[in-house]
Amino acid sequence: MATLIPIIRANIDPKSTVMTDEHASYQHLGQDFSRHASVNHSQDEYVHYTNAVMFPSGKPYVIHTNTVEGYFSIFKRGMKGVYQHCGERHLHRYLAEFDFRYSNRVKLGVDDVARADRALIGTKGKRLTYRTTHV
C-alpha cells in the first residue's frame, strides 16, 4: 500500500471514478477520488451493476476491472513479444505508445488511415534527430 497509493494519486485525476478489485490497498481510495467502486473477485464477482451511482444519462454504473486488465494484457504481450526489453528510464515512452494505440483502435471507430493521420498531427513542431554511433 505504501508503494501503490502514491503512484495512483500521482497519475489519476482526483475527479475520476476509480474501479478496483477487493485488494485491501484500495479500501481508502474513495477519500482521494470522486468515486471508488470495486468488485470482489474472491467471491467470483467480476461485474457489478449499481443503481447507487448513476451516469448523467441516468444509466447505472457498470463496475469492473476488465478495461485495465485488457490494457495491461496488451501492454505485457507487446513488451514480451515485440520490444523484449525496456529500461525504467524509457518506460513512459512505451506506455505513451500503447496508450495512443489503445485510444485509437478500430473498436472506437479509428481505422489505420485515421490513426496514421493522428500520429502525424502529434509530430507537428517536433524534430527527430539521429546520432551516429561511435565505432
Contact between 47 and 62 (Cβ < 8 Å): yes
* Those residues with Cβ within 8 angstroms of residue 75's Cβ, 6 or more apart along the chain or in another chain: 94, 95, 98
Query: Rounded to whole angstroms, how far apart are CA atoms 73 and 127?
Result: 32
Cα-based torsion angle of the residue sequence 104, 105, 106, 108 in order, rounded to the nearest 10 degrees: -60
Q: Could you give the percent of the chain with pLDDT greater than 70?
A: 93
Are residues 43 and 21 part of one domain?
A: yes
Are residues 36 and 16 part of one domain?
A: yes
Are residues 54 and 42 part of one domain?
A: yes
The mean pLDDT value for 94-113 works out to: 91
Burial (CB < 10 A; 0-12, 13-18, 19+), residue 132, is: exposed
Are residues 53 and 71 part of one domain?
A: no
Are residues 54 and 71 part of one domain?
A: no
Are residues 90 and 55 part of one domain?
A: no
| pLDDT at site 110 | 94
Are residues 76 and 53 part of one domain?
A: no
Between residues 133 and 115, the one the model is more confident about:
115
Write the DSSP symbol of residue 56.
T
Tens-digit pLDDT profile for residues 33-43: 988 888 999 99
Residue range of the domain that includes 87? 67-121
Between residues 51 and 110, the one the model is more confident about:
110
Are residues 80 and 53 part of one domain?
A: no
Q: Does 130 fall in a domain?
A: no
Are residues 94 and 50 part of one domain?
A: no
Are residues 87 and 56 part of one domain?
A: no
Overall domain count for the chain: 2
pTM of the complete model beyond 0.85: no
